[in-house]
């Protein structure tokens, strides 16, 4: 019995030992790695946003610095005729000149004889910067060195002038032809020659102009030329003038001349074409005739007195005067022909003045230096032989 209990205990102990050994020899289960936690996909890493640029404020260009004009603080003094010529330069020339140069302008109005004498008297210190003269006055003043020679660098339009407007001193600004003014109420057959003036049917109805003067001088010289003389031999001219006596009057002004034609006192007279066309446009019963021998040239010229302190301004003024707008204004208002060959005129104006190369070439250039040299003697003779 004791032996059975002992064996039973031994078997239990052996079973426990075996059990423990089996447990100890069984490899441990390898733990499964933990599944990574399921995560939501990572949001893409945002690049840092570019800084938002404010629109650049416009860069202001510095305001252009206005350059001082050559005439600021200066005054140009211009000696010129009044009436329509004053009106033209005030409307068409002075505003442009002031805009261009910044200078003020003072006009001294009067006749060219006064200006001519004044530039000689004021040679060392002229009080005028631009003077308007007749062609003969400009030519003599140029010869005497009283006015400056033309300067194309300062007056570019000088290069566009007809030769007749370049060669006689200063700057020619207007052409005028001197022909015959005919009273159409009393003359039915138009004269064709200067010689027609001496026809018997016109006796006592032909009026000369004052001498010296533009029309008076031209008439005396043409009388000499068509009777065999000329500037170098004026005797035939004086003899021809005596044959016209009795003279109805000696003409001296535009209004006086027009009235004499209106009243029938004068039938024929030497006259500048522009004055005839002007009176005709107002209803005057007159016609202008270009004699077959030609018409003497009358020309106004702008000149710059020697020793002026404002020669640069004077050149700017003259350059504007001989440009399109002012030349055309003179043609429209006074029927003065342009001296600038690039100036364009409408046909209605071009047809009643010496316009274009062909017409200008036909103008007669008188020998003004010879006339000037003899003017004093001729004036004395005129007073003795024609006026007495």
HEC per residue, 6-26 = HHHHHHHHHHHHHHHHHHHHC
Q: How far apart (Å, rounded) are the C-alpha atoms in residues 311 and 305?
A: 8
Kindly report each contact of residues 119-123 with a partner whose C-beta sits within 8 Å and lies 24 or more positions away, as own/partner.
119/146, 119/147, 119/303, 119/305, 120/144, 120/146, 122/305, 123/305, 123/306, 123/307
Instruction: Kindly state the DSSP code that residue 170 receives in the 8-state scheme.
Output: S
Q: Report the pLDDT value the prediction gives residue 132, as an integer from 0 to 100.
A: 98
The SS3 of residue 372 is helix
Q: Is 311 exposed, middle or buried (0-12, 13-18, 19+ CB in 10 A)?
A: middle
Q: How far apart (Å, rounded) are the C-alpha atoms in residues 99 and 77?
A: 17
Tokens of 92: 């068409």
User: pTM of the prediction?
Assistant: 0.79
- pLDDT by position in tens, the chain (length 388): 444 444 545 445 444 434 444 444 344 444 444 444 444 444 444 555 555 556 666 667 766 667 789 999 999 999 999 999 999 999 999 999 999 999 999 999 999 999 999 999 999 999 999 999 999 999 999 999 999 999 999 999 999 999 999 998 899 999 999 999 999 999 999 999 999 999 999 999 999 999 999 999 999 999 999 999 999 999 999 999 999 999 999 999 999 999 999 999 999 999 999 999 999 999 999 999 999 999 999 999 999 999 999 999 999 999 999 999 999 999 999 999 999 999 999 999 999 999 999 999 999 999 999 999 999 999 999 999 999 8
CB 275 within 8 A of CB 354: no
CB 249 within 8 A of CB 240: no
- Between strands 171-183 and 75-80, the pairing is unpaired
Query: Domains of the chain (ranges plus CATH)?
Result: 75-175+298-363 (3.40.190.10), 177-296+378-387 (3.40.190.10)
* CB-based contacts of 349, cutoff 8 Å, min separation 6: 331, 332, 335, 355
Q: Report the pLDDT value the prediction gives residue 67, as an integer from 0 to 100.
A: 79
Number of residues that make up the chain: 388
């Amino acid at each position: 019995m004791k032996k059975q209990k002992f064996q039973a205990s031994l078997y239990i102990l052996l079973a426990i030992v075996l059990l423990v050994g089996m447990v100890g020899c069984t490899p441990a289960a390898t733990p499964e790695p933990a599944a990574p936690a399921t995560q939501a996909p990572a949001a893409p890493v945002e690049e840092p946003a570019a800084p938002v640029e404010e629109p650049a404020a416009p860069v202001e260009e510095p305001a252009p610095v206005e350059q001082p004009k050559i005439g600021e603080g200066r005054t140009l003094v211009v000696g010129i005729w009044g009436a329509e010529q004053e009106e033209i330069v005030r409307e068409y020339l002075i505003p442009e000149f002031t805009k261009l140069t910044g200078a003020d302008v003072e006009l001294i109005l009067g006749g060219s004889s006064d200006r001519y004498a004044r530039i000689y008297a004021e040679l060392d210190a002229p009080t005028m910067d631009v003077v308007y003269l007749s062609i003969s006055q400009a030519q003599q003043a140029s010869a005497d060195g009283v006015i400056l020679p033309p300067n194309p660098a300062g007056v570019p339009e000088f290069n566009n002038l007809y030769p007749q407007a370049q060669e006689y001193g200063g700057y020619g600004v207007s052409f005028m032809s001197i022909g015959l003014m005919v009273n159409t109420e009393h003359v039915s057959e138009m004269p064709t020659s200067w010689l027609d003036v001496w026809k018997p049917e016109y006796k006592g109805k032909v009026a000369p102009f004052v001498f010296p003067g533009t029309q008076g001088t031209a008439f005396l010289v043409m009388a000499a030329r068509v009777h065999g003389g000329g500037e170098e031999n004026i005797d035939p001219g004086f003899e021809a003038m005596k044959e016209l006596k009795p003279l109805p009057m000696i003409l001296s002004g535009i209004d006086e001349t027009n009235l004499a034609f209106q009243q029938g006192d004068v039938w024929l007279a030497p006259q500048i074409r522009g004055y005839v066309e002007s009176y005709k446009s107002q209803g005057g019963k007159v016609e202008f005739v270009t004699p077959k021998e030609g018409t003497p040239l009358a020309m106004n010229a702008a000149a710059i007195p020697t020793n002026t302190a404002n020669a640069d301004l004077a050149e700017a003024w003259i350059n504007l005067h001989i440009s399109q707008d002012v030349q055309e204004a003179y043609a429209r208002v006074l029927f003065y022909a342009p001296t600038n060959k690039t100036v364009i005129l409408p046909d209605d104006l071009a047809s009643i003045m010496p316009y274009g190369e062909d017409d200008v070439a036909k103008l007669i250039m008188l020998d003004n230096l010879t006339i000037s040299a003899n003017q004093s003697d001729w004036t004395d003779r005129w007073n003795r032989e024609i006026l007495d």
